[in-house]
Amino acid sequence: MRVLSSLVKLGSFSLSNTIQVKISDGIWKFPRAISNRRQGYGTDSDSCRPISRYPVPYKKDLPYDIVELMEEVEKKSGFLPNVFKVMAHRPNEFRAFFTYYDVIMNTESGNLTKADKELIVVATSASNKCPYCVTAHGALHRIYSKKRTLADQVVVNTDLADLGARDRAMLDFALAVAKPENINETHFKNLEEHGFDREDAWDIAMVTAFFAMANRIAHVTDLRPNEEFYALGRVPREKPEEQK
């Protein structure tokens, strides 16, 4: 299984021991989250709730290929997204889940960018009321798009978000698939009017469908977001000489 590049790229957004956020009346400081803390693994969480209602296997009990992938992601990103720990409860499903994730999210084809795909995940996961996917993929959207507020706007109210006509057509189609509606030629025609072809429609639908499954897995397992996700793409990246 090749490395999940979108998650590994989080490593370029590592945080120092103290995050400083500049605001109008000064600078807020808050402790760095538990980045780089190697776990064995377990259900421990940054909050009072565990990361999952299902047991997370200890590293020594996991197959080598799964441990290898998890350690690579953790090393390069500075933390291990909790979805890896939770899906490790079922190793065969872990492999299938992340293989398909890699295919639909990291394969560049057609007119969808990585930022587009992340925004689709945010919009449909918000519709499905999934805190983990909204938080994690909101962070990835901020990183890819360099837009710090758009994902938040989409979560609160897609109709009022600062979306261009192209992005609105894309999300309208995704949300129709997510609800689900009976998809007809009118849905495809609207996409085509904004530069998307039938293959793009397939891609939008597959991202939506996959994360409909992921949202439901997150609900059943009570999957909790990592604290690190909340700051990613919001806090300016530090220069190497500024890191301690």
pLDDT beneath 70: ranges in the chain: 1-48, 236-244
Residue 226 in any domain: the answer is: no
- pLDDT at residue 50 in the model: 87
Residues 125 and 216 in one domain: yes
Residues 174 and 113 in one domain: yes
Residue 172 in any domain: the answer is: yes
Residues 132 and 157 in one domain: yes
Residues 99 and 137 in one domain: no
Q: What is the CATH number of the domain that holds 38?
A: 1.20.5.810
Residues 131 and 98 in one domain: no
Residue 19 in any domain: the answer is: yes
Give the structural domain span for 124. 106-221
Q: How many structural domains does the chain have?
A: 2
Q: What is the CATH number of the domain that holds 152?
A: 1.20.1290.10
Residues 133 and 198 in one domain: yes
Q: Which residue's structure tokens are 């500024």?
A: 242
Helix (H, G, I), strand (E, B) or coil at 1: coil
Residues 58 and 158 in one domain: no
| Residue 243 token pair | 């890191």
Q: What residues have CB less than 8 Å from 47, skipping those under 6 apart? A: 224, 227
Residue 147 in any domain: the answer is: yes
Nearest of 69, 75, 61, 74 to residue 98 by alpha carbon? 69
| Residue 47 token pair | 């909050």
Residue 198 in any domain: the answer is: yes
Residue 114 in any domain: the answer is: yes
Q: Which residue's structure tokens are 């807020």?
A: 28
Residue 230 in any domain: the answer is: no
Residues 125 and 99 in one domain: no
Going from the C-alpha of 88 to that of each of 52, 61, 64, the distances in angstroms are 11, 10, 12
- pLDDT at residue 43 in the model: 54
Residues 94 and 152 in one domain: no
Residue 90 in any domain: the answer is: yes
